[in-house]
Structure 1
Amino acid sequence: MKSFKADYVFPVYAEPIKNGIVTVDDYGRIISVTDYQPASDQNQPLEHLSGIICPGFINTHCHLELSHLEGKVPTKTGLVDFIKQILKVRNGEHQLIIEAAEKADSDMYDNGIVAVGDISNNNVTIQIKAKSKLYYHTFVEILGFLPHNANELYANGLMLLNEFRPQSCSITPHAPYSVSKELFRLIKKYSDSGVKNLLSIHNQECDDENKFFRYKLGKFNELYEFFGMDTSHFKPQARNSMQSIIPLLTSKQDILMVHNTCTNLKDIYFLKRFDRKINWCFCPNANLYIENRVPKINLFIDQGFNITLGTDSLASNTKLCILHEMKTIQQKFPVITTAKLMEWGTINGAQFLGIDAEKGSLEPGKTPGLNLITNVDGLKLTPESKVRRLI
């Protein structure tokens, strides 16, 4: 057994423990979380640490296959120009793509991440995930805005899904602006069929997305022209993008709405009229990288929805680190406590991915991983806070 004592221990399922002690066995399984060392354990070594001990982090949104694009896409261009740049530089030498993804996987491990919800458009990361120390759930992403080829794209998505099996995986639509109603309906039919099929959808990343759905105006028209696409089939919806697609989504699966940069209170209240299992994921550093803004995260608190955190990809972030996301949120929204951010970065993500029986909190019997956060100010994170993996 190993025991660690820190200024604070965040079990997550309970209040932070001052001068807490966490004891684990040789397999990383939690034996106890207390504020004292039992007499029976007095002979066990106790490592004294400065900072906060917490469970391993859960990253619910990543694009491992884009890791080779680190530093290659300009910042603060807005989503439409960001997408164009991605398409220009996405292809690369296969071995370099593999090596970058392997390094990103290793970096996430070192940054205290234990599980990842990862977006895939191809099969390049299958073997990396099979060998990884991290738990992965792969979202096989389908996209296609034109109605006529929905069946073909859906069939291709199912074939890619089969390549990822028996790893944990599901098929999912990319975003409102990139998936036709016909394709949404095919994915809904699959999701309603009784299989377990988590969904992860890029949602309202910029004002132009809502502008296109409401009025068919804005820069998305420029994007479709860039692709040479005829969008005459699309009629303005007179409502925001998320409101437009909610009726097309299943009520039988958990759905992760990712980014939500321009989601407002009306959107949130609209959701409550529907029987949908909505979870939110925030990736603030990617939002700053692309749009130079962050979501109004304070609007989502205490609305009855599960909130999680993600990193997005190295094409839109400088590092794949959940603590990095937590620090940005606390800087932008000082009223959000570290304890609340811990829930978002651990147990909430584990619950969405369906792995909370083992991950997400420091409960006896679990193997959640153990992180030490240093350079803290009591219970507050600071710009200098760092994470070190203990087990």
Structure 2
Amino acid sequence: MKSFIADFVYPVCADPIKNGIVTVDDAGKIISIAESQSPDQQPESMERLSGVIVPGFINTHCHTELSHLKAKIVPGNGLISFIKDVQNFRNTEKNAIIDAAEAADAEMYNNGIVAVADTSNSNFTRDLKEKSKLYYHTFVEIFGFLPESAEDLFAKALALAGEFKPQSVSITAHAPYSVSKELFKLIKRHSDSGNNLLSIHNQECEDENKFYRYKLGGFIDMYKHFGINIDYFRPQARNSLQSIIPLLTNRQKILMVHNTCTNLKDIYFIKRFDRKINWCFCPNANMYIEKRLPKVELFVNQGLNITLGTDSLASNDKLCILSEMRTLQQNIPSLSFDTLLQWGTSNGAKFLDIDSDKGTIEVGKTPGLNLITGLDGNKITPETKVKRLI
């Protein structure tokens, strides 16, 4: 067994414990959590730490198979330019993709991440996920805006998902602008029949809403660039999120990712529907691609399950949940460390249905333990660091 004592222990599910002691067994299972009655007089077998102990982080949005694109895409040119660049650069030698993905997996481990919701378009990351120290759920992502291709694309996604089993895996739509109504319906039918967690890129730029409302904006040129004829599509007179909500199942949890241009009307619109919507913010990727953050304040105090993700190294310089928390803290000072910690731990575990084991420091769980140093009271600073303990 190992015992750690720190300035504070943040169980997340309960108030912070001053001079808290956490004891774990060799498998990392929490044996006990207690407050030290004499913090200055501890046995030598107990490791004394300066900082706060928190659970392992949950990364609810990543693309490890794009890790080879790190530093290859010029930041700040907007989503449509980013999509074109990803398609131009993503195809390379398979071993190079796998090597970069394995390095990304190790980076996440060292940055205190214990579980990842990872989006895949190939089977390249299957083997690394099988041997990884991290828990992975793979979202097999479907692209296809032409109605006539829906059946074939769905069948291919189903086959790819089968290659990841018995790992945790599900089939999902990429985004409103890249999935036809017919394909959304096939995904819904599949989701209605069994377990199929969903994760959808949502409202990353103003052009997405402009396309759905008026069939105008940059996406028109993007479809031409890729040789896609969208004559069939009719403007919906409402934002993209509002347009696709009726096409989604009410039997599965759904993660809306990015939400850069989601507004209060969108949030209220969703509340009228019986849908299990969760929200993921990837602030560093938002800044990298669009040079702006979502209106995060609109989501706070709405009773919503909010999580954090890193997105891929194509749109980020590191895979670190603490870094995402820091960006939000710096731009929205009203957010407390406690709130951000909940978003980066227990809320993600709840979405992935692994909260019986991860996300909080509780007896019997194996959540992983991180040491956070360099806090200024209850605020994250540029000096704040994370060190994985177990």
TM above 0.5: yes
Q: For 1:60-105, what per-residue CA distance to the aligned partner results, in whole angstroms no more than 9, with x for missing partners?
A: 0000000000000010000000000111111111111111000000
Moved more, 82-91 or 29-38: 29-38
Q: For 1:210-239, what per-residue CA distance to the aligned partner results, in whole angstroms no more than 9, with x for missing partners?
A: 000000110000100001111111100110
SS of 1:7's equivalent?
Answer: strand
SS of 2:28's equivalent?
Answer: coil
Partner of 2:126: 126
Partner of 1:84: 84
d(CA) in 1 for partners of 2:384, 2:42: 31
Counterpart residue type for residue 198 of structure 2: L
Gaps of 5+ in 1: none
Residue 12, structure 1, aligned to residue 18, structure 2: no
Mapped contact 1:257–1:281 kept (Cα < 8 A): yes
d(CA) in 2 for partners of 1:50, 1:299: 35
Partner of 1:204: 203
- Give the CA RMSD over aligned residues: 1.3
Q: For 1:109-159, what per-residue CA distance to the aligned partner results, in whole angstroms no more than 9, with x for missing partners?
A: 000000000000000000010010000000000110010110000000000
1:33 Cα deviation from its structure 2 partner: 1.7
1:379 Cα deviation from its structure 2 partner: 2.2
d(CA) in 2 for partners of 1:48, 1:335: 31
Partner of 2:223: 224
d(CA) in 2 for partners of 1:172, 1:283: 19
Gaps of 5+ in 2: none
Partner of 2:59: 59
d(CA) in 1 for partners of 2:154, 2:107: 33
Q: For 1:314-365, what per-residue CA distance to the aligned partner results, in whole angstroms no more than 9, with x for missing partners?
A: 0000000000000001111111110011110001000100100100000001
1:370 Cα deviation from its structure 2 partner: 0.3
d(CA) in 1 for partners of 2:304, 2:156: 32
SS of 1:61's equivalent?
Answer: strand
SS of 1:308's equivalent?
Answer: strand
Distance 1:37 1:47, change over 3 A: farther
Partner of 1:96: 96
TM-score relative to the length of structure 1: 0.98
d(CA) in 2 for partners of 1:38, 1:65: 49
d(CA) in 2 for partners of 1:15, 1:237: 47
Matched positions, count: 389
Partner of 1:296: 295
Partner of 1:156: 156
d(CA) in 2 for partners of 1:331, 1:373: 17
Mapped contact 1:145–1:178 kept (Cα < 8 A): yes
d(CA) in 1 for partners of 2:379, 2:204: 29
TM-score relative to the length of structure 2: 0.98
Runs of 4+ in structure 1 deviating by more than 4 angstroms, as ranges, are: 41-44
d(CA) in 2 for partners of 1:109, 1:19: 26
Map 1:174-323; keep pairs closer than 5 Å: 174-193=174-193, 195-323=194-322
1:304 Cα deviation from its structure 2 partner: 2.0
d(CA) in 2 for partners of 1:262, 1:164: 33
Partner of 1:355: 354
d(CA) in 1 for partners of 2:51, 2:333: 19
d(CA) in 2 for partners of 1:2, 1:44: 11
